[in-house]
Amino acid sequence: MSSDRKPKPSELGYAMPAEWARHAATWLSWPHNLETWPGCFDLVEPTMVEVVRTLVAEELVHINVLDADHRAHVHALLDELVPVERVRTHICATNDAWIRDHGAIFVTHADRHELAAIDFEYNAWGGKYPPFDRDREVARFMAAALGVARFEPGIVLEGGSIDVNGAGALLTTEQCLLNSNRNPGFDRAAIEAELCSAFGVAQIIWLGEGIEGDDTDGHIDDLARFVAADTVVTVVERNRDDPNFVRLQMNRDRLSKVRIADRPLNVIELPMPDPVFNQSQRLPASYANFYVANGLVLMPAFDCNQDKEAAHVLAACFPERRVVAIDCRGLVAGLGALHCLTQQVPHVV
């Protein structure tokens, strides 16, 4: 190893735990950008208050705020609903609220019981939403606030584009990670090498395209998620006339051919909700955008019949956790939902 080459996380023994591994906390960037939620921002903050109120029953919540005035505003929203000792607010100005994509991604070292942060480059999903200068600094801030080591792989990657099982496998999509608007010049082999070295995985499972209305170029957290080391849930569309039908069936077919540890991957189907629109815009509503926390699963709900079915599927996947449905019709107008707005901080002894 050359003296000027910095070691990768996996080379030092770090790996990303599964989302269901115990958390020390959940981290949020509080929504404030009115342009992100055109005509719907009045629905966003009450939903976020409900998210925090639910989470603090099980774990600490960190919240990035713009400044002292914004901190006072957020605390006023949470007053009398959330115990103050269960929330930590940080003055860390952001351009937007999607911390899953702009924040640090945390890895752990099992032998040394250490936490570290990975700070990927961030370009607002291929340069779609400038400015994003503040968001690029959030991962650095989070690492410093926790006093943990920080790795800089030097490639563009958003947390919503990957999902791990904590046992050596990672899910992602070709539409996103092989898109020339992220890392031009990187082919599949180069991207796989970066994923393995950053997250401590050995198997990359590639799906194809994302759902209708997804401006992230096909993030995996709207498509398929690990719910156990050998099991994924994947969304399927039953309406053959829906634009999502073919692409989701193709992803389902790919998963049916995957083997994990020399056994077929267990694939469980999640329904898609009825289409959700803001004015005439199709929104990326998906039950796969759930968030697994200590003792609970936060599931996006969309006021349709499939809400109950999706909750039943997830309850069977996580029998020791409560499934809490959160109405996300307002949140998804910003083209994301619960998983996009949260980032777990793993617990280390």
Catalytically annotated residues:
340
Q: Closest by alpha carbon to 171, among 211, 125, 229, 121? A: 229
Would you tell me the crossing angle of helices 68-78 and 41-55 to the nearest 10 degrees? 70
Q: Cα dist. 16→109, 114, 135, 210, 242 in Å?
A: 9, 12, 22, 23, 35
Amino acid present at 28? L
Task: Report yes or no: 282 and 212 within 8 Å, Cβ to Cβ.
Answer: yes
| Torsion of the alpha carbons at 89, 340, 283 and 191, rounded to the nearest 10 | 140
- Is the CB of residue 230 less than 8 Å from the CB of residue 196? no
Alpha-carbon gap, residue 233 to 223, rounded angstroms: 8
Query: Checking DSSP bridges between strand 343-346 and strand 203-207, what pairing results, if any?
Result: unpaired
Contact call for residues 153 and 116 (beta carbons, < 8 A): no
Alpha carbons 91 and 282: distance in angstroms, whole number: 34
User: Which CA distances in Å does 340 have to 28, 98, 254?
Assistant: 10, 6, 24
Q: Distance between CA 185 and CA 304 in Å, rounded? A: 43
Region for residue 185 given its phi and psi (left: phi exceeds 0; alpha: psi -120 to 50; beta: otherwise): left
